[in-house]
Amino acid sequence: MKKILVTGANGQLGSEIKALASNYLTFDFVFTDIADFPLDKEPEIISNFNRIQPDIVINCAAYTAVDKAEEDQATADAINHLAIATLATLCHDSGAKLVHVSTDYVFDGTSPVAYTEEDQPNPKSVYGVTKLAGETACLKNCPESIIIRTAWVYSEFGTNFVKTMLRLMTERDTLSVVNDQVGSPTYAADLAQVILTILDSPKWEPGIYHYSNAGAISWFDFAQDIKEIAQKTCDIKGIPASDYPTPAERPAYSLLDKSKIRAVYGIEPVDYKKSLKVMMKKLRL
């Protein structure tokens, strides 16, 4: 059996991988999180890795507090960059395979078309800068790695846009949601399935891949879809991002082109609204 180490196992993606793990009987999963596998302490990364001796690492862990990262740059860099450099070196030296999850925030959001894996990154936030540094270190120290960039992740687990909107739609009569930032949501369960499909594939093609659900919408559109599915009556108003300033700059357009993952692994992105309905049904709405 292949031993698979999953970091960040209590986050959205890690939790969805846990939910699917029983479908993969040839994999022996070791689920870890910050308490037993902290990524901001290099000696512990090394000792834990050597103790577990994984055949495959799925790194779901990240410093994802995008606005807080603007002030807490050292911690963001330690987790999103330096830890990945260490993990990649350990994987390369031991012969383990590494799947590392990255983000659309490595782009500046000025493209008029969906970003491909070959497009030049240009992050505009500390979060994006540290995630890009992690990608670079990953490929330098372990060129045989697979990096999957994703965007707008949500699930039934943890805190995310869908669950926040549902709560606010219950508490308020009106909401204002940004309507000039465009991308595609990603249901974490779909991304988890994509990763496990790749690991279960007979081929391993290193490099960067993009995956999100299919569709191109704004946050306002996303909120309207949530409202429709949940049958809420809250009035939602669209506003420009300039009316809702945040410490970290968000990409205005971060649609990811999924042609490569489709061509290499035959993975067809699921329509975002279909996945949204599935997730919300799990919330018993």
Both tokens assigned to 201: 């594939």
Whether 115 sits among the annotated catalytic residues: the reply is no
Contacts of 225 (CB under 8 A, 6+ apart): 217, 273, 276
φ, ψ at 29 (rounded to 5°): -85, 135
**Residue 156: HSE in the Cβ half-sphere, 13 Å Cα cutoff:** 16
Return the SS3 of 281. helix
Contacts of 266 (CB under 8 A, 6+ apart): none
Q: Which long-range contacts (CB under 8 A, 24 or more apart) does 113-118 make?
A: 113/255, 113/257, 114/216, 114/255, 114/256, 114/257, 115/210, 115/254, 115/255, 115/256, 115/257, 116/210, 116/257, 116/259, 116/260, 117/149, 117/207, 117/208, 117/209, 117/210, 117/257, 117/260
Rg of the chain's alpha carbons, rounded to an integer?
19
Both tokens assigned to 181: 């930032």
Contacts of 176 (CB under 8 A, 6+ apart): 236, 237, 238, 239, 243, 244
Nearest to residue 222, comparing CAs of 172, 269, 268, 164?
A: 164
How many CB atoms lie under 10 A from the CB of residue 7?
A: 28
Q: Which of 127, 187, 253, 272 is the catalytic position?
A: 127
Both tokens assigned to 62: 């990240």
Contacts of 23 (CB under 8 A, 6+ apart): 196
Where in the sequence numbering do the catalytic residues fall?
127
